[in-house]
Amino acid sequence: MIAMTIAEIAAATGAQLLRTPDAGLVITGLTHTDSRDVTPGDVFVCKPGEFTDGHLFAPAAAEAGAALLIVERELDLDVPQLLVDDAVIALGAFATELVSRVRALGKLKIVAVTGSNGKTTTKNLLRTILSAVGPTIAPRASFNNEVGAPLTMLELTEDTEFLVAEMGASGIGEIARLIAMAKPDIGIVLNVGLAHAGEFGGIESTVIAKTEMVSELTADDVAVLNADDPRVAGMAASTAAPVVWFGLGPNAAVRAAEVRSDAGGTAFLLTLASGESRQVRFRVLGEHHVMNALAAAAAAEAIGVGIDDIVTALESVELAERWRMQVLGGRDGVTIINDAYNASPDSMAAALKTLAQIRTPGQRTIAVLGEMSELGEFSGEEHDRIGLLAVRLNISQLLVVGQNARRMHISTINEGSWDGESSIVDTPDEAFALLEKAIQPGDLVLVKSSNSAALRFLGDRLGELFSW
């Protein structure tokens, strides 16, 4: 982060200084909420959590060399402390001040991305593209909420030219709060689906929340919107910014054509808003990730990155992120696709379609599916829909893991026309024991679920089992 004194950080966060003999001490380290990440000179935020309390880990942070603690109660530690009412709010205020200071230097551009699916992949693609142009900061993993986003912002330095901000939400107002910390120059909305619909209270509320990404943009900014998603396309009426459309249809300025998928990735013809076109061999598995590539390309072009640099960067990316369409295995011709970091109805359907698209003639396909969480009242019918999709795509075998996903199993066995098989087990361990015996040489296996179902670790175990 850029250098700030303890007194300046206290002023930004409205904090009371405790155990601070020198308020002029300069802080340049990173900010953390996990004491295991702390190194000498860093800031540790003692954030109370759902299951534990960050104050309990402050001694470990101090021992690791933390130069400053942000606390909600004074601690008996010989480390400067900033006492605040709410550590998360203070973290956001700290980030807001730091972003403002870097903005004042005149060269920072902020690109923010939201959507029901694809945020992390698009963020990673943008980081790859922009890092080749100038110093770029982007979130680790899925740091996209009121804690993760400001932690990323606090990594900014005087040299940073690009900040890629991933902005997630589970309710109205959450994206707006993140934008208040770091208003984007380019705001991207990928899609609006049923992910987190239960928390939002319905698809209409999801639209309102995602619209916050572009509603505060000015005429000097750029909105990058999905032309193929009617809910996203409707957001054009809510922004003062000029819109760059991306998609597969003819109305998109940045578009893909001649899309061809196989087990090695997806090839397509990329056309930018300038009219320039290039062939792309995109190694991230799954045709649905082409839309993420288009969004990243559209934002990069708006910043001024040329098509050759965009294509070179896109073709250099082999994996969107761990547990996202991650290809594992290989022994005995067995391929494991571990896509179990998260799941919504849209991403689950896309993964199943990819499984069907990339199989070779005669190859068996096995879908190992778990619960799609946070769907609320839509949960039952959406699990039914995924089960029926597995039948329609003629997936060879379905293994459902967990009783919360049972309706996928029931909907498939009720389809008398399907000649595949469906089974259900309660736990990932039971699934592993079954699959260890059931997987045959040459099989193509997809593992997909929401994070809460923990099937990502099952995917890792299968990948290791069939590794060389």
292 is in an annotated binding site: no
116 is in an annotated binding site: yes
157 is in an annotated binding site: no
41 is in an annotated binding site: no
Quote the tokens at residue 9. Answer: 């950080």
452 is in an annotated binding site: no
Residue 129: name the closest of 349, 301, 340, 370 by CA.
301
d(CA 241, CA 211): 13
d(CA 412, CA 171): 33
- Beta strand 335-338 with 326-329: parallel, antiparallel or unpaired? antiparallel
How far is CA 313 from each of CA 130, 281, 300, 442, rounded to the nearest angstrom? 9, 11, 11, 32
47 is in an annotated binding site: no
Quote the tokens at residue 198. Answer: 């239960």
342 is in an annotated binding site: no
CA–CA–CA angle 14, 17, 23 (5° rounding): 105
Query: Cβ neighbours of residue 449 under 8 Å, at least 6 residues apart?
Result: 340, 343, 369, 370, 371, 372, 401, 402, 405, 455, 456
CA–CA–CA angle 23, 28, 31 (5° rounding): 95
- By the 8 A CB rule, do 277 and 271 touch? yes
Quote the tokens at residue 426. Answer: 């309660």
Helix (H, G, I), strand (E, B) or coil at 197: helix
Query: Cβ neighbours of residue 290 under 8 Å, at least 6 residues apart?
Result: 248, 256, 259, 266, 268, 282
Half-sphere exposure of 296 (CA within 13 A, CB side): 32
Beta strands in 250-355 (DSSP E): 254-262, 265-271, 277-282, 326-329, 335-338
- Beta strand 265-271 with 254-262: parallel, antiparallel or unpaired? antiparallel
CA–CA–CA angle 460, 388, 458 (5° rounding): 10
Query: Cβ neighbours of residue 397 under 8 Å, at least 6 residues apart?
Result: 364, 365, 366, 367, 420, 421, 422, 423, 438
Give the residue ranges of the annotated binding site: 115-121
Give the residue ranges of the annotated binding site for ATP: 115-121
